Amino acid sequence: MQSHRAGNALAAFSFVLWGILPLYYQFLPQANVNDLLALRILFSVPFMLLAMMILRRPLPALSVIWQDKRSLSMSAVAGLLMCVSWYAFTWAMTHGQVLAASLGFFINPIFAIALGVFFLKERLSQAQKIAVILAIAGIAYQVWHYGTLPWLALIMGSFFALYGLAKKHIRYDALTSVTLEAAILSPFALLFMAYGGLSGTSTALNSDWQTLLLYIGSAPVTLAPLIFFALAIQRTSLTMVGLMQYIEPSIQFLLAVFLFGEVFDQTKAISFSFIWLGLLLCSLEAISHSFKRPRLSV
């Protein structure tokens, strides 16, 4: 029971950390997103190795990693998918589009449900079917009024869901997998930063040391919640994690509207309401299932 409570607390803390990430990026307005992505990849590897040492997790043996080539290749795929989602997220954070990021994380479970149906042959419950329909209706309402798709939110939500699908085919533990995803992409990130430094086109390398540290700091501030999440998932139920995942976009939503002053007009209110209603139905269904007790046979 105590372990379960600790898991719940760790999960909640990880989602709170993810939720307040927009506050960090306020120190990097109009940042060079390419530099941010490259430096985040490069410094993720030493940070993850340090975290594994602090947590007394054994460092992965290269021979063991190489034996599971399928997981290794899927780690590369997962890393690329995360790059796309994280690129969209970072652009939103540094260009006054925190509300779009919030929407992306709210619709992510809908994309995950759809991928589960198409690729894992999972069956939708009644609440999930309604949630998918409501999400489509909410996005369609925005398109009808604005005349354009909410591309940032859709890219973030869909690619993060694809990242989750790829992770299902990786047999390494969570921390090893995240470390490998960054390690595989590190040579490309290093080449990009080297070219930017030599050609003088790198914003991060040509800035003052405080700004450069903020660029580098994007690695630990985005990976710290992931480590707490990895610790939580071993101690609590997936139902609790699923219910608590809405902490993150909820905090981002509140920051966008009340702190950053982003426009939340009637169209967005109605669109969000469709999606919130669908998520509420799925959450209530998950809660009801978690409280059900198996009947004893007579």
**pLDDT score for 296:** 42
Q: Please give the pLDDT value at position 1.
A: 58
Gap between the Cα atoms of 38 and 82, Å rounded: 13
Q: How far is CA 128 from CA 29, 60, 131, 161, 280, in A?
A: 38, 38, 5, 16, 10
The confidence score (pLDDT) of residue 268 equals 92
Low-confidence stretches of the chain (pLDDT < 50) are: 295-298
Q: What is the dihedral of CA 197, 200, 202, 206, to 10 degrees?
A: 90
pLDDT confidence of residue 234: 66
pLDDT of residue 239: 62
Number of CB atoms found within 10 A of residue 1's CB: 5
Check residue 71 and give its pLDDT.
Answer: 92
pTM of the complete model beyond 0.75: yes
Q: What pLDDT shows up at residue 91?
A: 93
